[in-house]
Amino acid sequence: MARLPQRPRVVIVGAGFGGLSAARGLARTPVDVTLIDRRNFHLFQPLLYQVATAGLNPSDVAWPVRSILRRQANVRVLLGEVAGVDVAGREVLIDDGRRLPYDWLVIATGTTHTYFGNDQWAAIAPGLKRIDDATLIRRRILMAFERAENAEDEAERKRLMTFVIVGAGPTGVELAGAIAELARKALAADFRAIDPRKARIVLIEGADRVLGTFPPELSGFAKAALERMGVEVRLGRRLTACDAGGVIASGERLPAGTILWAAGVAASPAAKWLGAPADRAGRVQVRPDLTVPRHPDVFVIGDTAALVQDGKPLPGIAPAAKQGGIYAAKVIRATVLGRPKPPPFRYRHYGALATIGRNSAVIDFGRIRMKGRLAWLIWSMTHIYFLIGGRNRLLVTLQWLFDYITFSRGARLIAGSDPASEQRSARGSHRFAGCSPAASGAGGAHVDHSQTWSTVPDAARGTSPVPGSLLSSPREPSAY
């Protein structure tokens, strides 16, 4: 019996916003798709800060990839960590030695944190990117209050109740606002020796305003709103040291029990795998059709791709990743079906949103700008709309309604372990070591977290602010 010709094989690496959109976009195309990710769930990162601050549970913001794609017969989902790509042999290399042959490859591996050469800060100041980061941060925040309740020394109690967030982009602003609400409302009556309302929340930023990629008027609103919530906003500060006792920013020592990093990201190592040109943030410099130079069969999309459009780099936000995935699927489909190739990729920016706290958010739709309660309602509805799965939408809506009415935060579990912090506390209370050469790194870090989130559907198209710099030049594009 004659063997049927094999269908083209598409391998997609990463089941985030970009990879998932590419896989779905190929639903009715005669190809065999393999979607590989190192975790078995798709993560809705925009609400991760709510897990970190005990507002939502991890399963509210994550959904199993197999279940999302179970009805799409041409997709096979694999769990595995990709370690490289053999572009000449057209194979994806998995870290357990398996090799996955492809005819088309779509890489959508996102970003990771960067501490700009100060990697020793990572254990002290976790960033927020994965579910594990969120539960670790939740643990540290809640443990800080527990330890303060047990502390006998007043200075140590104050230190434990000081929370420093480095970077005032959307993630930093969201974290600062949510910690302030947790301390001032949800935990207010729960302790006896301490008054959680006296917690000090300090937001440190290298630039001269928060939410640096939003229009100045909205940045000003966000700063004032944070300050009304009791957050101390320190602008124009360079972080030069960060250790178990606290931080030094522009020469000022700030003893702190919890330090959170919202200041920088770097792309996944895809450029190295492919031997492709990369920008300074490590993102693959793709061609206008999102393929890699000299490899028209390899697409790189989402946060790990760098492309300048209309003089601006594509932003590292979910809509850009989704649109990239849809576009890659269209090109593959057209080629497989022998149709004309679509014109080059064009990213459409619909708007940028950031929430500050209860009843407070900012939205930049370009010509239309909003702030306050209405913006917050739109932010809430948009995020619920974009969550995957009816179950998650329902649970998050109910949870938010309940928390809104009661000011509570239901997911206050101290779970998992935190070896770094436990080792430190076993050594007793922390005397702030100050700016040790080991901690300060080369020249310190100028924190300028510039990142805009945009999850708005077909609303007014704005001249979007694009992500700007983190630590180097203010115009340098970064993943977000």
Ligand X SMILES: Cc1cc2nc3c(=O)[nH]c(=O)nc-3n(C[C@H](O)[C@H](O)[C@H](O)COP(=O)(O)OP(=O)(O)OC[C@H]3O[C@@H](n4cnc5c(N)ncnc54)[C@H](O)[C@@H]3O)c2cc1C
Residue choice 10, 11, 12, 19 for contact with ligand X (CB under 6 A): 19
Residue 2 Cβ vs ligand X, minimum distance, rounded to whole Å: 37
Q: Which stretch binds ligand X (CB under 6 A): 36-44, 229-237, 339-347, 462-470?
A: 36-44
Binding of residue 116 to ligand X (CB under 6 A): no
CA-CA distance, 463 to 209, in Å (whole number)?
20
- Cβ proximity to ligand X: between 161 and 175 the closer is 175
Within 13 Å and on the Cβ side, how many CA atoms surround 310?
11
Burial class, 317, CB count within 10 angstroms (exposed 0-12 / middle 13-18 / buried 19+)? buried
Least Cβ distance, residue 197 to ligand X (angstroms) = 26
Distance CA 117, CA 46 (A): 26
Beta strands of 236-378 (E only): which ranges?
A: 238-243, 246-249, 252-255, 258-261, 265-267, 284-285, 291-292, 295-300, 305-306, 308-309, 312-313, 352-357, 360-364, 369-372
If we measure between CA atoms, which residue out of 242, 263, 175, 235 comes closest to residue 472? 263
Helix (H) or strand (E) holding 6: none
* Closest-approach residue to ligand X (CB): 16
240 binds ligand X (CB under 6 A): no
> Cα(236)–Cα(168) distance, rounded to whole angstroms?
11
Residue 51 binding ligand X, by CB under 6 A:
no
Residues recognised as catalytic: 174
Residue 204: closest CA among 282, 264, 284, 261 = 261
Measured distance CA(6)–CA(439) in Å, rounded: 56
The binder of ligand X chosen from 302, 444, 462, 465 (CB under 6 A): 302
- Amino acid (one-letter) located at 107: I
Q: Which residue has the tokens 């301490």?
A: 194
- Decide: is 121 part of the binding site for ligand X (CB under 6 A): no
Binding mask 54-73 for ligand X (x = CB under 6 A): --------------------
Q: According to CB under 6 A, which residues from 76 to 115 bind ligand X?
A: 81-82, 108-110
Q: What gap in Å lies between CA 168 and CA 165, rounded to an integer?
A: 8
| Measured distance CA(140)–CA(100) in Å, rounded | 40
Least distance between ligand X and beta carbon 382 (Å): 9
Show contacts with ligand X in window 307-346 (CB under 6 A): 316-319, 321
Our CB check for ligand X shows the closer of 240 and 455 to be 455
Kindly indicate which of the ranges 151-159, 217-225, 426-434, 449-457 contains the residues binding ligand X, using the contact rule CB under 6 A: 449-457
Q: How far is the CB of 95 from ligand X (least distance, A)?
A: 8
Nearer to ligand X, 162 or 171 (CB): 171
CB of 218 closer than 8 Å to CB of 379? no
Binding characters for ligand X, 361-400, by CB under 6 A (x = yes): ----------------------------------------
The residue among 11 and 256 lying less far from ligand X, judged by its C-beta, is 11
Window 196 to 235, contacts with ligand X (CB under 6 A): none
Pick the closer one to ligand X by CB: 264 or 441: 264
Sites of contact with ligand X (CB under 6 A): 13-19, 36-39, 45-46, 48-49, 81-82, 108-110, 128-129, 171, 268, 302-304, 316-319, 321, 453-455, 480
